[in-house]
Structures are given as C-alpha cells and as structure tokens.
Structure 1
Amino acid sequence: MLIGSIAELFFWFFWDCLLSFALYTTGAVVLRVLSFGRIQKPLFVPIVFSNEKRLAKNDFFSAYITGFFFYLVLLALIIWLK
C-alpha cells in the first residue's frame, strides 16, 4: 500500500513537472510556427513554468492541447510508417 502511494505520487510529480512542461513548450512552438508568428504563447524555463501555469490556467490550455495532439499525430505517423 505504501509503495503504491509512493509510486502514484512520483507519477503525478513526473506528469506535472516534466510532461506538462514538454507538452506546453511543444504546443507553444507549434502554434507559433503554424500561425506564422501571429499566435505567440510565452515560453518559460522549467523553474518559472509551474508558477505561471497556476496563474494563467486558461491561457495554457490551448498550447498544452496542441502539444499533446502534436505528439499523438507524431506517434500515429511513426506507427503507420512501420
């Protein structure tokens, strides 16, 4: 039971810190490239990212989802090509 709780805590820490940062940053870059610079979401260093994410939740959602779908499409393309 204790090991399961520690594993779940580690998973959520990993998801909140690393994966959400990677998905947001990828989404911000993809939005900037696809819109030819018209949509510019701010890029943050990992230390500042968690604080800024809590302050502006609605602003982060579009970049976060775009990053998620970018990796989803990339994974589907890799599976399709093999």
Structure 2
Amino acid sequence: MLAASLTELFIWFIWEILLSFVLYTTGAVVIGLVTFGRVQKPLYWPALFHQEKRLAKNDFYAVYMAGFFFYLLLFTLLVYLG
C-alpha cells in the first residue's frame, strides 16, 4: 500500500514538473510554426510556468493540448513506420 502511494506520488511529481512544461513549450512552438508566426504564445521559464499554469489564463490548456497531440502524432508516425 505504501509502495503504491509512493509510486503515484513520484509519477505525479514527474508529470507536474517535467512533462507539463515540455508539452506546453512544444505546443507553443508548434502553434507558432503552423501559423507561420501569426499566432504567438508566450514561452515561460520553468519557475514562471507553474505560476501561469495555476492561473490558467491565455488559453493555457489549448497550447498544452497542442503539444500533447504533437507528441501523440509523432509517436503514431514512429509506430507506423517501424
């Protein structure tokens, strides 16, 4: 029981600290590239990123999901080609 709780806490920590920052940054870059720079989303430093995430303003989750779907599409392409 304790091992399961520690594992869940570790996975949450990795997701919150590393993966959410990477997905948001990737989403902001992908949106900028796809729209040829017409739509620009702010890129945050990791310390400021968590503050902005808590506020969830400036359509944060749309950019976050764009990064998620980029990696999902990339993974699908690798599986298809492999």
The TM-score normalised by the length of structure 1 is 0.92
Q: Please give the alpha-carbon distance, in whole angstroms, between the structure 2 residues aligned to 1:57 and 1:11.
A: 25
SS at match of 1:78: helix
Q: Please give the alpha-carbon distance, in whole angstroms, between the structure 2 residues aligned to 1:20 and 1:60.
A: 11
Residue aligning to 2:46: 46
Q: Please give the alpha-carbon distance, in whole angstroms, between the structure 2 residues aligned to 1:36 and 1:22.
A: 21
Q: Please give the alpha-carbon distance, in whole angstroms, between the structure 2 residues aligned to 1:38 and 1:56.
A: 22
Residue aligning to 1:62: 62
Structure 1 unpaired stretches of 5+: none
Q: Please give the alpha-carbon distance, in whole angstroms, between the structure 2 residues aligned to 1:15 and 1:51.
A: 16
| TM-aligned CA deviation for residue 72 of structure 1 | 0.6
Residue aligning to 1:28: 28
Residue aligning to 1:7: 7
Structure 2 unpaired stretches of 5+: none
Stretch deviating more after TM superposition (6-15 or 55-64): 55-64
Shift in CA distance, 78/52, structure 1 to aligned 2, threshold 3 Å: same
Q: Deviations over 1:23-71 (max 9, x none)?
A: 0000000000101111111101111111111112562111111001100
Residue aligning to 2:79: 79
Structure 1 segments, 4+ long, off by >3 Å, are: none
